[in-house]
Amino acid sequence: MTFRATGPSMLGVKPLWVLTGASGRVGRMLMRHWLRHPPSGVRIVPQYRSASGPGLVWSPVDGPDDLVQWARQQGGVAGLIMLAGVTPGPGKALDGNAALAKAGVSAARAAGVPRLLVASSSAVYGAGKGLPMAETAPTVPVNDYGRAKLVAEAVCANAPDLDLCCLRIGNVAGADALLVNVPKARPDSPLRLDRFADGGGPVRSYIGPATLARVLESLALQQDNLPPVLNIGAPQSVAMQDLLDAAQAPYAMLSAPASAFQHITLDCTKLATLHDFAPEDSDPATMVAQWQTLKDPE
């Protein structure tokens, strides 16, 4: 099966996509970007569980009926970006990630939506062995969140009738634990980073929210089927202290415990064949600037 956009695109109109999870931290930044810079080749409409703004009001776990009816009114939906998910936190029911994946698959089938982009996480790999992890790397998650996302991926693997791609997303600048805490940092209460034997700190895969928006546009417009899983991050990994320097946040480097890992990064070579990255997309200062532009008003 080769992907072809349906409905609106057949009438000479941009293919219509729905972003679920538009009210989450990443979703809000994406929608702000698209409000300022509308995609050139696709229309993306936010989904909300209640009428909190313009868009589709639909709760995926309550069944597909609202999406089916709305898709008919719109003349068809080309794809779903299933960003909605349960993130780690006290009392969070992480098995909701598999339930949301199952609901998305069922809704796509009922509404005749041919393509799904489902948010997974780089946490499915675990800590790795210090080298960039490609999509073929073993999945050995070390926490409940990674295990929950892996179960959700298994749900998606049982939908061969759909063009479905699980996005193993690294850190999104501004939605990660590091930058979220920048506003709380003070000279007398700095953020803390692990310092390893070489004097450096943690190195991770990041992507700026505006860059992520452009990546999603590229994936939505691919004519051929997408791979079943795809790493999502900028081409080059990032030293976390470089992000804090760019954000002008005070921090202190403390000796890393033996259990800490310095390098947990993704190999995003496959993604670079599907999206044309700019050199600055891997620049920590660019990532921080994107976050500062798109973050919630203070």
Contact 265, 168 (CB under 8 A): no
Sheet containing 263-264, strands listed edge to edge, beginning at the edge strand earlier in sequence: 238-239, 203-204, 263-264
What is the percent of the chain where pLDDT is above 90?
90
Asked if residue 134 belongs to a domain, the reply is yes
Asked if residue 244 belongs to a domain, the reply is no
Amino acid letter at 61? V
- pLDDT for residue 6: 40
Tokens standing for 163? 């063009």
The residues with which 16 forms a beta bridge, in sequence order, are 43
Asked if residue 294 belongs to a domain, the reply is no
- Residue closest to 222 by CA, chosen among 170, 267, 276: 276
Nearest 5°: the CA angle 208, 210, 212 is 70
- pLDDT for residue 10: 41
What is the percent of the chain where pLDDT is above 70?
95
Summarize pLDDT for 7-36 with one digit per residue, the tens: 344 445 799 999 999 999 999 999 999 999
- pLDDT for residue 243: 98
- pLDDT for residue 51: 73
- pLDDT for residue 70: 96
- pLDDT for residue 52: 65
- pLDDT for residue 1: 37
Q: Which residues, 6 or more positions from 221, have their beta carbon under 8 angstroms from its beta carbon?
A: 15, 41, 42
Contact 133, 79 (CB under 8 A): no
The dihedral through the CA atoms of 225, 48, 98, 159 has a sign that is negative
Tokens standing for 127? 């800590």
Q: How far is CA 65 from the centre of its chain?
A: 26
For residue 269, what is the enclosing H or E element? Answer: helix 269-272
Assess whether pLDDT exceeds 60 at residue 4.
no
Contact 115, 226 (CB under 8 A): yes
Number of domains, the chain: 1
What is the torsion angle, in degrees rounded to the nearest 10, for the CA atoms of residue 237, residue 98, residue 154 and residue 271? Answer: -30
Instruction: State which residues form the domain around 36.
Output: 7-175+208-233+267-281
- pLDDT for residue 3: 36
- Range name among 12-21, 239-248, 270-279 with the lowest pLDDT average: 12-21
**Alpha-carbon distance 71 to 75, whole Å?**
6
- pLDDT for residue 11: 44
**Residue range 234-256: mean pLDDT, rounded:** 98
Q: What is the DSSP letter of 266?
A: B
- Higher-confidence position of 43 and 7: 43
- pLDDT for residue 163: 97
Mean pLDDT of the chain: 94
Asked if residue 202 belongs to a domain, the reply is no
Cβ neighbours, 10 Å, residue 131:
10
Judged by DSSP in three states, 212 sits in helix
Asked if residue 197 belongs to a domain, the reply is no
Summarize pLDDT for 81-115 with one digit per residue, the tens: 999 999 988 889 999 999 999 999 999 999 999 99
Judged by DSSP in three states, 292 sits in helix
Assess whether pLDDT exceeds 50 at residue 2.
no
**Residue range 62-79: mean pLDDT, rounded:** 96
Place of tokens 């790493």: 231
Residue 130, domain CATH: 3.40.50.720
- pLDDT for residue 188: 96
- Residue closest to 238 by CA, chosen among 256, 213, 269, 263: 263
- pLDDT for residue 149: 98
- pLDDT for residue 256: 97
Burial, 73: exposed, middle or buried (Cβ in 10 Å; 0-12, 13-18, 19+)? exposed
